[in-house]
Amino acid sequence: MFVDQVTIYVKAGDGGNGIVAYRREKYVPRGGPAGGDGGQGGDVVFEVDEGLNTLMDFRYQRHFKAKRGENGMNQKKHGKNSEALVVPVPPGTTVKNAETGELIADLLEHKQRAVIASGGRGGRGNAKFASARNRAPEISENGTLGDELNVQLELKLLADVGLVGFPSVGKSTFLSTVTAAKPKVADYHFTTLNPNLGVVETKDGRSFVMADLPGLIEGAHEGVGLGHQFLRHVERTRVLLHVIDMSGMEGRDPYDDYVAINHELASYDERLQYRPQIVIANKMDLPGAEENLEAFAEKTKDDELTIYPLSTITRAGIDEILYAVADALDRIPKHVEEEEEPKEDRVLYKFEKEAPAFHITRADDGAYVLYGEKIESLFRKTNFDHDQAVNRFAQQMRSMGVDDALRKRGAENGDTIRLLDFEFEFVDG
């Protein structure tokens, strides 16, 4: 089964906790601090594996979680950093934040890597807090949380040539004729439900990858029919082979088909209207095809099209078409999309202006609720098992302006202050 879009959950490892420990030595207060730092949590990394051509594996495993870092140890031993969790993906995979739609990574080449979720930092042990004023600190930090998010994976085939056209115009038959691919061929619309790939080799030794893509209908750019399932794969192709049923056996006018398909391409992505396009007049062995071709050429003479007649039954015209495609590819650089898209769109993470350190709201029960990324991170890192660590957290909040902000909101002695799942009383000193 071909799967080209899926949403999964990734969670990087949390950082290990630092510890409070002391060594036993004479003349050193309390033996001296010897608590080691926690290890770094593992990243979640996506790596391109050219042996994959579908996202099928992600249909059965949708959760990926890296290991957390080890806690620190005594004798100032650092906890072990966790290795990254490497997830293989097929070439042509784009990774987006499922909630915001922001592009995280665009993975094209074999062995290319991108960090999708960063592991948490290890917390510091009490050895790091020793100072001249505090020779034996009872302070350590917990590790920070690793990133966690839902990401949308979307596969866009890396084919040199894409076959476009209405259903049942002969795209699959053409692909099976010029490659070793064996797509399903039948006399009904939408026989091709999933893209098919094949390698073409011309008689002069040149080769390229061709994709037979699901047939288009009017309104495809809005999702009608196979819609976006088809169009997303066109984006990466370097040359489009526009196959037209010149016999008109479906009761449609070949010129109307040509105009309708190009309208759908341009409506989906304006850049596609400038993509090199070769027109194939297919089914030339059927009655009426010659007359229709003459009429089509007359209507498109202003477009300066080069039209190649084809009959897959008699194989007439195949070599000329393949040579024309190979010549066009020789003139076009690879990775068209990389040149067309601004490089800043490929930045792994976009950092915005720093958010406030904390916010204050009032709960229904009258408690003052503190929240914000910075203050919550500070809270999670604090080891509340030791009084010195608790006092340090209180001092840090005071230096951030929390006490003053609470007073301005009307907080008085004894009022309840809530931060995540922790509650404490406000003391107006």
User: How far apart are alpha carbons 343 and 93 in whole angstroms?
Assistant: 17
In 3D space, the residue among 106, 89, 100 whose CA is nearest the CA of residue 46 turns out to be: 89
Average pLDDT over residues 50-75: 90
Q: Which strands make up the sheet holding 416-419, listed edge to edge?
A: 359-362, 368-371, 416-419, 422-425
Q: Quick check: 180 pLDDT over 70?
A: no
Q: What is the pLDDT of residue 88?
A: 95
pTM of the predicted protein model: 0.66
Q: Contact, 428 vs 412, CB < 8 A?
A: yes
* Token digits of residue 401: 């302006």
Instruction: Band the pLDDT of 113: cuts 50, 70, 90.
Output: very high
Structure confidence by residue, pLDDT tens digits, 269-301: 788 888 889 999 999 989 899 999 999 998 988
Give residue 171's identity as a one-letter amino acid code. Answer: K
pLDDT digits (tens, 9 = 90+) for 130-176: 888 888 899 999 999 999 999 999 887 777 888 888 887 888 888 88
- Whether the per-residue pLDDT at 183 is higher than 70: the answer is no
pLDDT at 63: 96
- What is the C-alpha radius of gyration for the chain, rounded to an integer number of angstroms? 31
Contact between 275 and 237 under an 8 Å Cβ cutoff? The reply is yes
Quickly state the pLDDT bin for 194 (edges 50, 70, 90): low
Question: What is the C-alpha separation between 40 and 123, in angstroms, rounded?
Answer: 9
Binning pLDDT at 50, 70 and 90, where does residue 224 land? very low
pLDDT category at 349 given cuts 50, 70, 90 is: very low
> Helix 254-268 to helix 227-234 angle, to the nearest 10 degrees?
80
**Other C-beta atoms within 10 Å of 37: how many?**
28
In the chain, the percentage of residues whose pLDDT exceeds 70 is 83
The pair phi, psi for residue 16, each rounded to 5°, is -70, 160
Confidence of residue 249 (pLDDT cuts 50, 70, 90): confident
Tell me, what's the pLDDT at 222?
46
Taking alpha carbons only, the member of 67, 68, 66, 79 closest to residue 124 is 79
Phi, psi of 6 (to 5 degrees): -160, 150
Stronger pLDDT, 51 or 339, i.e. the higher one = 51
Q: Is residue 69 a contact partner of residue 80, using CB atoms and an 8 Å limit?
A: yes
Which position has the higher pLDDT, 258 or 270?
A: 258
Give the pLDDT band of residue 337 (cuts 50, 70, 90). Answer: very low
Q: Is the pLDDT of residue 196 over 90?
A: no
Q: What angle do CA 126, 127, 132 make, to 5 degrees?
A: 100
- Give residue 422's pLDDT: 87
